A and B are shown apart, each in its own frame.
Chain A
Amino acid sequence: MERKSFLFSFFIHACALLLAVIILAPVVWLFIMSISPAADLTAKPLVWWPQSVDFSRYGILLSSVENSAGAAFVASLVNSILVAGMATIAALVLAIPAAWAVSRTPSVGWSLYMVIATYMLPPVALAVPLYFGLAHLGLLNSVFGLALVYLTIFAPFTTWLMKSGFDAIPKEIEAAAMMDGAGLFATLRIITLPLAAPVMATSALFAFLLAWDEFFYALLFTSDLRAKTLTVAIADLAGGRVSDYGLIATAGVLAALPPVVIGLVMQRALISGLTSGGVKG
């Protein structure tokens, strides 16, 4: 490579520093707000760094004293985990056989493209009938109902991801196992699924992160602690009459923690999943 001049190197480092500040400042400020005494956050001029660090809000939100802010937060946390977990598992159970079938029998592929095309539908196009449907089934304000609705989003794209995963596994390996007398399902269980495990994990991760992030359907179809998810709980806090901004920030930090940890640890897998569509583009 060519040698870079000192000036160029200085310029690059300055830009990198600027980018780091742009990325970090808002996140760090969210955390600082969560540990600053309430008085510091409403002081003028604003206190940027708390005189005394105050972690008590984390205790408040994660306590389960009845009818407290904590109880509501913990309930919504549990609901988010339940909905995301159920929707992810259901999406994979539906996606895996379908994705494998399309991967091995391209002649039925057109039906998959129709399924994937639905991914572009704005949720508002389905919202009113889904609302009537859930009401009819008694599934409004229920974690099961919400998980079912989330399949509209997750099933298409997990199928798409899984199909590209199966495409990467040579047919010949399966054929060899069948030749040795293994039936279709034995072949899939022993040969194909273990080879597809990384793609399955990536798909599951994406579905879980999307469920954790989803707001529109959760806002429409849940109304109280029995089913409200974290995103709705936080929007309530942000839009409500909470006087302590630190408490809102703390809820934000806690809700952001799982996806941020997953994102930092699994970055490579996530990026390759995100770009897998672009490779074929």
Chain B
Amino acid sequence: MSGTSMTTRAWLLMLPLLAVMIAVIGWPLADTVGLSFTDAKLVGTAGNFVGIDNYVKTLTSSNFQRTLTTTTIFAVISVFAEMVLGVLAALLLNQQFYGRTLLRGLMILPWALPTVVNATLWRLIYNPEYGALNAALTQIGMLDAYRSWLGEPGTALASLIIADCWKNFPLVALIALAALQAVPRDITAASLVDGAGPFARFRFVILPYLAGPLIVALVLRTIEAFKVFDIIWVMTRGGPANSTRTLSILVYQEAFSFQRAGSGASLALIVTLLVAVLAAAYAVLVRRTAGSTA
């Protein structure tokens, strides 16, 4: 078959997918761009063209700046903790101990638990009057009086981060474990003979094998954490006093709670741009690591 007809055939086979993608992604995205330059409401008028007013208002508002900070704190701390805990757990699961197969199997549990169920579960655990955390800490004497973990601005974000980490670090652990199992035995044995201590061995022998898969996990988790909505909506709805409000929650409130479709759209596009910058930065990082370990 000739090259041209192969290409034609390929395009024909891709047509249904591309058509649907244009209908459900391309057109809405273009429409969001259009909306972002108007003062359209969710219900009623189509709105008037207002130029870049929405963008100027958004970028200069203290609400946006505070929300961006909250989102960054949430994303950086959760992803960092998930990576560290995940690698530590993987190193552990790669050792010899009784019940290893069982424990490796159990690691899938938090990942499989639906996000909303996880959020609900932790909301019950943090309950100010009857929650298990208050009960446990009081009974072992670490806490004098019950606290409202999700109800105080000082502890709400940290409590959310713990719930998010619990669900996501096992996935990092499983990915890291799969990579660890690919490290050839004779290489680790040789490094022992050469007198490498445990830290040198981790840094120079094991880490190069982990780097590729971990960077992919890091990219995906960071983008997810930056877009986070579900767990926060179910546990705190962005409260108390907006202390856990992330960018996706802010867009939801603007576009759907306050029905300001136009300014909501501009905000959504700013978030999209930030995610794209993150993704591009990581793409460079991935290429660089692939070059250095290959």
Are A and B co-members of a single complex?
Answer: yes
A248 near B120 with CB under 8 A, answer yes
Q: For the complex, would chain B's binding face be called helix, strand, loop or mixed by DSSP majority?
A: helix
With A27-B109, A123-B227 in contact, do A245 and B248 touch (Cβ < 8 Å)? no
The one of B21, B178, B230 in contact with A275, judged by C-beta atoms closer than 8 angstroms, is B178
The stretch that binds A, out of B51-59, B61-69, B76-84, B99-107, is B99-107
The one of B25, B113, B234 in contact with A126, judged by C-beta atoms closer than 8 angstroms, is B25
**Cα distance A238–B178 in the bound complex, in angstroms:** 36
The one of B112, B139, B189 in contact with A45, judged by C-beta atoms closer than 8 angstroms, is B139
**CB of A274 closer than 8 Å to a CB of B:** yes
The one of B97, B233, B237 in contact with A9, judged by C-beta atoms closer than 8 angstroms, is B97
B7 near A263 with CB under 8 A, answer no
A94 surroundings in chain B (CB, below 8 A): 16-17, 20
The stretch that binds B, out of A50-58, A67-75, A191-199, A252-260, is A252-260
Which residues in window 3-24 of B have CB below 8 A to A? 6-7, 9-11, 13-14, 16-18, 20-21, 24
**CB of B292 closer than 8 Å to a CB of A:** no
**CB of A177 closer than 8 Å to a CB of B:** no
Of B107, B124, B138, the most chain A CB neighbours within 10 A belong to B124
The one of A115, A148, A238, A281 in contact with B286, judged by C-beta atoms closer than 8 angstroms, is A281
B223 surroundings in chain A (CB, below 8 A): 120
**CB of B28 closer than 8 Å to a CB of A:** yes
**CB of A60 closer than 8 Å to a CB of B:** no
**CB of A83 closer than 8 Å to a CB of B:** no
Interface residues of A, count at CB 8 A: 96
B170 surroundings in chain A (CB, below 8 A): 23
With A151-B20, A248-B124 in contact, do A128 and B117 touch (Cβ < 8 Å)? no
The one of A98, A121, A263 in contact with B112, judged by C-beta atoms closer than 8 angstroms, is A263
**CB of A41 closer than 8 Å to a CB of B:** yes
**Cα distance A66–B125 in the bound complex, in angstroms:** 32
Q: Could you list which residues of chain B lie within 8 angstroms of chain A, going by C-beta atoms?
A: 6-7, 9-11, 13-14, 16-18, 20-21, 24-25, 27-29, 31-32, 35, 42, 89, 92, 95-100, 103, 105-117, 119-125, 127, 129-130, 132, 135-136, 138-139, 166, 170-171, 174-175, 178-179, 185, 189, 192, 212-213, 215-217, 223, 226-227, 229-230, 233-234, 237, 247-248, 251-252, 255-256, 261, 264-265, 268-269, 271-272, 275-276, 279, 286, 289-290
- Given pairs A27-B110, A102-B14, A127-B255, 9 additional interface contacts (CB within 8 A): A19-B92, A121-B25, A129-B32, A156-B21, A159-B17, A209-B112, A234-B116, A249-B121, A255-B116
| 25 examples of A-B residue contacts, CB within 8 angstroms | A4-B96, A12-B92, A12-B96, A23-B110, A24-B109, A26-B125, A30-B117, A30-B121, A97-B17, A107-B7, A120-B279, A122-B226, A124-B227, A125-B32, A127-B252, A129-B35, A184-B9, A215-B234, A239-B234, A249-B124, A252-B120, A255-B116, A255-B117, A270-B108, A271-B175
